[in-house]
Structure 1
Amino acid sequence: MSRHVPSPLRKTARRLLHLLARPMKSDRGRGGVVVHAYRGYGSAKEVFVMGRVFRQPSLGLPFREGSLLRDVIDVVRRLFRWGVKHVEVTLYLNGRQKTVTTDRDGYFDVHLINQPLLPTDRSWHRGELSVIMPSQRTVSSTAEIYVPPAAVDLAVISDIDDTVMYTGVANKLKMMYRLFFKKAHQRTAFPGVAAFYQALFAGLDGQRRRPMLYVSRGPWSIYEVLEEFFQRNGIPVGPILFLREWGLTLQRPLPRRATEHKARLIEQMLGLYSDLPFVLIGDSGQHDPETYARIVHTYPGRIRAIYIRNVNHDASRDDAIARLAKEVAETGCDLILASDSVRMAEHARTHGLISAAGLEAVKTETRRESQLPP
């Protein structure tokens, strides 16, 4: 019996290896200090940029870019990088600047007040980041920052795990197995999700470019993997992935608690985009219905609709969510428990949240993908 790894599996493993090595490419093998900014977000008045300053080992020898050995070594380098604590990071944007200090894991969070206001004729803005090390060496990077254009009429906040994709982002190995080692016809995203989110992003006239904000309890270390997932499945990433730092170290081997992580972020977004109504999307498996219902009562009139994907099909759970839906309905908001994306899209179309073409796209995509094994 041949012991050779089948070609498709070898190709898939190679792709995964290259993805994991990708964040290491920017230093061209030199190692040292790197400033990595995640996508920023904000409004014309203020912006937020998160990221990390870390030190990583050098490549050592001039291995060819794109080679298997180079990717293996880059992945090893990634495993051995560490955060640079207590250094100052400065963000420059639109003639303004703000300096913050990294925490003990090297993470930074910049909140910059825009004066003058950022233009709203485009969605993306580029900021410059600079770190001056104790040795006086300057390390620079850039940050992409999303600001809703003037035409935006709605914001969307969605869970990821069991709402957009089948399996848990908190379980990194399981998620990467589904994403990279399942055959192409075995889906990682729920049928119709991409078309539904594209319809929400575009709005009635196809030109809204609405904020699509994704929340996860997973760690920032899977940021690139999630980006790949969104890209491969045609889901508008738009711009933000809100994750949390688990802070795994030998001294702190357990994740930091994510108490009210989602509710806190939703409240922050409601404050940031105070002139926009919201749509909230989650699943029935955890506490999304209860969390979203509390948000509706705390912020009356701000939530247009709540879509809950039914992933456990438990009668008692369905009854509990039905009771929540009645409570929410008294505030003028609809909570829809749905087993597929079509039901969500039909409600969204009826209430003017998506276009007729968007609904038809969801139906077509759901029919096609529902015929494929998960």
Structure 2
Amino acid sequence: MVLAPYRGYGSRSEVFLIGRVFRQSQADPAREHGLRSELRDVGRRLSRHSVAGATVTAHFYGTTVKVVTDPDGYFRVHLRPEAAPSPDLTWHAMDLVLEGPTPVEAQGQIYIPPSAARFVVISDIDDTIMLTGVANKLGMLWRLFVADAQSRVAFPGVAALYRALHAGHSGNESNPMLYVSRAPWGIYEVLEEFFRLHGIPVGPVLFLREWGVSWKSPLPRKAVDHKQELIRNMLELYKDLPFVLIGDSGQHDPEVYRQLVNEHPGRVRAVYIRNVSRDRHRIAQIEELAAAVVTAGSSLVLAADSVAMAEHAEGVGLVAPGTVGAVADERVAQDELAARTETREVKRGTPEQTAAAVEGGHLQDMLASGPEDAPPSVVVEPKEPRAADPQGLGDEKPELQDIGARHERQ
């Protein structure tokens, strides 16, 4: 019997954690190696036997709650700590016990932003941090289920960039890093190891759905609406902090982020989109996102590489001076043959004028030009964006409101 908590998150007034109870056959390291071992590991992950109706007790800062696993074996903890969580910690332990004749104990980790945090980063994983090729379904399934942490490929420079965003302009902000993925919960441990190997700051990994994957039905259901709701919940939970949204151009990130920017004007400081597609339909969606972002007075960076994101982030004070050099060095170390592409700009005096330039085709013309295998980076923003605190984008933190009912549906 396995009691598996996933990293949780919250505030000093309420916290959330998801976990799962299941049975799974054990691997035999002495017998298994190579591709056969990897395929057997895939089989074990897919054939985990959910334990429904199990009772899990959670203890956190003086509060104890009992929850019951659902038909898929998942449990969701939402509680309000009786004692105030330590302000000196960012990660806080939650003790868990699976009740039964032979109790099983585990400890979950809850991230609570410190007072020094100045913005929240929400980043996609697939084709944003790690190459998965979601447009190629068979390749995606192989990378999701078969590839281990060592064989998964991180985009060059992404680890240095994310470390800088987590540290912030002052270097000690510990800004929240929340990750979303189209993958199933079954590869959670693989992603944990991938982050560790590449030195990417850890944070709660929020999967877009429980796939219900089987050999007969291996492809995921659509999760666009779920992703929007998840990010809306984060915007409400951390309602005092601005957000930085990071995704890719290949799937639904531009559509999702455009909707969120329209719904929450002024909350999104910047949107960084890794440019992985030149499909005409995708360019049209990026144009709509760009118009929405600049109308709100924010910035869109359509980036061919991690350095382009770092250049903008350093320029607007999201990260410390020297970040661009660190990201560039890491990028070269990972891919010595990688060539930088030109960074172009769509900038006008006001948000309205910049949006009009986008709608007039200026962004589309830039994206359509240049070599096919080297798309340009493009920064789209008004010349006079909304003023921001260069040290961290704000000082005060009002009390966070209760959004427990929504989070419990995640």
**TM-score exceeds 0.5:** yes
Q: Hey, what does 1:157 align to over in structure 2?
A: 122
User: Which of 79, 88, 91 is matched with 2:55 structurally?
Assistant: 88
Q: Secondary structure at the match of 1:127?
A: strand
CA RMSD of aligned residues (A): 2.9
Q: Say if 2:52 and 2:71, in contact at 8 Å, map to a contact too.
A: yes
1:217, distance to aligned residue in structure 2 (A): 1.2
Q: Secondary structure at the match of 2:20?
A: strand
The yes-or-no answer on 1:313 pairing with 2:278 is yes
Q: Hey, what does 2:187 align to over in structure 1?
A: 222
1:120, distance to aligned residue in structure 2 (A): 2.1
After superposition, give the CA deviation of every residue in 1:251-294 in whole Å (9 maximum; x if it has no partner): 97764542412211111111111111110000111121121111
TM-score by length of 1: 0.80
The yes-or-no answer on 1:54 pairing with 2:17 is no
1:122, distance to aligned residue in structure 2 (A): 0.7
Q: Secondary structure at the match of 2:130?
A: coil
For residues 252 and 105 of structure 1, do their structure 2 counterparts lie closer, same or farther at Cα, with a shift above 3 Å needed?
Answer: farther
Q: Hey, what does 1:174 align to over in structure 2?
A: 143
Distance 1:313 1:254 in 2: 25
1:34, distance to aligned residue in structure 2 (A): 2.0
For residues 95 and 354 of structure 1, do their structure 2 counterparts lie closer, same or farther at Cα, with a shift above 3 Å needed?
Answer: same
Distance 2:149 2:20 in 1: 26
The yes-or-no answer on 1:115 pairing with 2:82 is yes
Q: Which stretch shifts more, 71-80 or 45-54?
A: 71-80
Distance 1:272 1:192 in 2: 30
Q: Hey, what does 2:174 align to over in structure 1?
A: 209
For structure 1, the residue ranges without an aligned partner over 5 or more in a row are: 1-32
For residues 153 and 261 of structure 1, do their structure 2 counterparts lie closer, same or farther at Cα, with a shift above 3 Å needed?
Answer: same
For structure 2, the residue ranges without an aligned partner over 5 or more in a row are: 340-410
Q: Which stretch shifts more, 206-215 or 168-177?
A: 168-177
Q: Say if 1:220 and 1:243, in contact at 8 Å, map to a contact too.
A: no
Q: Which stretch shifts more, 364-373 or 248-257?
A: 248-257
1:42 aligned partner, one-letter code = G
Query: % of aligned pairs identical?
Result: 50
The yes-or-no answer on 1:343 pairing with 2:308 is yes
The yes-or-no answer on 1:287 pairing with 2:252 is yes
1:174, distance to aligned residue in structure 2 (A): 2.8
Distance 1:93 1:367 in 2: 44
Q: Say if 2:208 and 2:223, in contact at 8 Å, map to a contact too.
A: no
1:109, distance to aligned residue in structure 2 (A): 0.9
Distance 1:122 1:115 in 2: 17
After superposition, give the CA deviation of every residue in 1:78-97 in whole Å (9 maximum; x if it has no partner): 66541110122111011101
Task: Report the count of equivalent residues.
Answer: 331
The yes-or-no answer on 1:146 pairing with 2:111 is yes
User: What are the residue-to-residue correspondences of 1:167-316 with 2, within 5 Å?
Assistant: 167-168=132-133, 171-175=140-144, 188-249=153-214, 255-314=220-279
Distance 1:180 1:270 in 2: 31
Q: Hey, what does 1:36 align to over in structure 2?
A: 4
